Structure 1
Amino acid sequence: MVNLYTLPTYVVVLFIGVILCLFLANSVLYYYLMPQAQFRQLGRKCLEGSSLLLLMAVATILYEVYTDSLNGIVYDEATDFWRYSTALAGTAGAVYWIHDRQAGSLWVLAASILLLPVFDDWLPGSLVLALVCLAWRLIRIFPRTYNQYQQRLTARSIQTAVDCLDEGILISWEKGEPVLVNFTMYAVMEQLVGTVVRNANIFWHLLPFCGNRPGLSMERQGRDLLFRWDSGQAWLLQRRPIRFRRQSGWQITAANVTALHRLNRELAQKNAVLEQRNEEMKDVLDGLVALQTRQTTESLRYKIHDLLGQRITILQQLLNNPNVSDYGEILPLVEDVLSDLRRDAVANPQERLDALVTTYRNLGIAVTVEGMLPADTRRAGEFVRIIREAMTNALLHGQARSIAVTFGTGRQPALVIADDGQGCPGPIQTGTGLQAMEQRVRALGGRLTLTKTPHFIITVEMGENHDPTDHRRRPKNLA
């Protein structure tokens, strides 16, 4: 320790300045680490705290040397207790978190050991080495931590994105405690119940009693509830069980179906006019109108199912995967349902396929595409819709992490979609999504085949490439 008192005053001041700079940089590093998942562990917090404590200890020692030199007093062992304490704390923090090589625990451990009084014969060399260890650790982990901080989706950014949706979203735990609610759902609560309800289960059980309010009617559509106001506004509310973070919960969505409801009413009015003007063809027209209405409603229902299913899949991935990086390409896919329906009819199929692949890859899903879309625009558009529904099912029901899409030529299957999910060991429950895919393939003159184990595979064969004697082309094995 006496060796430090032989140093010139300006050298001691220079050391103190360097230590203050390192302390400031370490504090900024602490700030960038706080919102990240890795910093939720107590051991990582202790490691960063030990690094700050070591810098404070060195600064204190040098300050004592500086003031004692000015007074002409030398205390050889005045700071030994402080040095032992900080060295012990730094060693404990480094050893506790030594399994994480990227955290730089070994450098903190080395600096802690070098500050022990047993190395006083090496002063000021041991002090310089301790500062070099701490500085080198900052140089190595600071850029990586800053990049992770910039690219990380925080809870605030997720809430902001969800608040931009025109659909109401309410995600809660099984007992009803809310996890994520957006502004649209708050507005729907106030319209239906008259106040904001803080428990999702209570809110859902209050909804059936809202149909008795003046100017408001309610209609049950299976498990869903359709509310209509006298002003013409209509909202469809749905509740589904979900699982996230290994716990059960509920997902309540509220979709504004006013435009669709208005279209249905206008269609009914036009049907009435046609019936009045063509009484002599009433039976024939009634049958045609009923068929057209059923086909139109079924088509719209399939499209809304596809789009809402994709949006809910994206939201669940955002909640479960906080390391999504490219948020700017995901937000356009969670905009207005009717806008998506209009865009879905005119957008280039290749552009929509590229957007789907990019979005799911940004969510951490490994998507591979082999081959090219058909040259026929109608067939290509239907293939893209089938791929979108298949991707949604693979994530929601199969918990898949990789999806392979293969476009065939010649006598090969026209389209094969395979995932690495859990498959379907039992009977396949044909829901809205699979019904939509089968209807689209039949409309194209093809055949849809489902392979449910060990992984889910969807095969589309068209008339020109179907040969029962050929072995089907399978995509490469998925991990």
Structure 2
Amino acid sequence: MAKFYGLPQWMLTTLVMLIALCIVLQTGAISYSFRRLRTGWVRMVENGMECVILVILFLFAALLAQVKYALYCGFLESSDYYLIRQVAFLISAALCIATAVGTEMIWPFFAIGGSAVLLPMTEKITGFAYPFFFLTSILFFLVRSIHICLMRRQEIHTQISYVSIKETIDILHTGLLFFRQDGNILLCNHRMDELAQQMIGQSLQNGREFQQLLEGGSLLHGCSREVFGDQQVFRLPDASVWSISSHDIPLKHRTLVLLTADDVTERWDAVALLAHQNKVLEKRGQELRHTIEHLQTICEAEEIARSKGRVHDLLGQRISLLLRALRDDQQPNEALLMDFVRNLPTMLREDRTPSPDYRLEMLKKTFQGMEVSVEIQGNLPDDMEVADSFAEIAVECVTNAVRHGYATRIQFHFFQNDCWRMTVTDNGIPPVGPIREGGGISEMRRRIHRVGGTLELYTVPRFSIQIFVPKKGV
């Protein structure tokens, strides 16, 4: 150390500050090291090595202080602190070797080289270059202390400890409660404690009593027991729904009880929504079935109502003429009365069958109330026989599309060029295989054949019916 007396004061001051910083950082490294979990002799050896390195740094500081401040008013020779320096080096070397063997890493051997600068023998061998090696050792321990602090800090944050396990359990959305058979609680996370507060109004004191209360005790106002599938659930005042189940956990010579609380609110709401939608669909299905089954009756009722209206109009017109003549004290014309009597049956028979256009319009209105859209593009043929056939087929197509394909939209397209054409498409469920023609389609084919036309069925890209009827004389 005698070579340090020739160094400038600023350089000695810098060395003192570096050693002080090394001591602070090494103290932090020791603190982090001891905060780790003890997992065996390797961890203990590592901690001991960090403590010995701190002692070595204090020896560096003592040697440098004696140079700079003439500590103990003596001139520092290489033999000062001879025994302490050698013992500290030997202990550090032994711990570094044990750490390297235990961790199977090479980096602990570097600390032996940094500690070797402390030996008087090293000072004699290096001579005037000793201050350089001294500074290099200080910088090595400085970098090492920073590295150890960062590494140990990362280990603490990633290691699994009792505290970290409890923190992890507390942030779970699922409620957990462990207790012994006598009800003594071993572990309860925040979620389960919050649920207990909402159901019984107090924190958990006894696990067995809480379990018995769940099975049949009285709950606070706003809490209720519900049945969800084949299990019991609890609806809380905040509208959440929880399923609480019990599990026995054998552990050596005793058995622990685990209560788990799972949030089933989303599934509960989904089932409730599905049940409501099923009721709506069932009601709509009943309406559709009723309408389809009574479609003929509906058409007959419409026809009867239309006929009644026509009779009312015809009789009302004639009776109004007679009443006017009587009010005016006029003798009704005998010829007029006879003509009224003779023509009344003929006029009542007229328009007995509704026109094809009227039937299509009535079809649209009938299914519109059931949210089934019947869309018509184009005009029916001028030939009344063909138009009547198209109208009959349209009624059958709508009935089949709603009954078998669950369609909500049926489109009819009427157009003509060299023949009358009718195209029917719907948004129903397409057939999964070849179509087996039953009474409905067979009847449509017979009706079209009677007017000399053809009917074609297509299933791709969507189900459709195309009808062609040649024009007469073309």
TM-score, with length taken from structure 1: 0.42
Higher Rg of the two aligned structures? 2
User: Looking at both structures, which has the greater relative contact order when contacts are Cα pairs under 8 Å and sequence separation is at least 6?
Assistant: 1
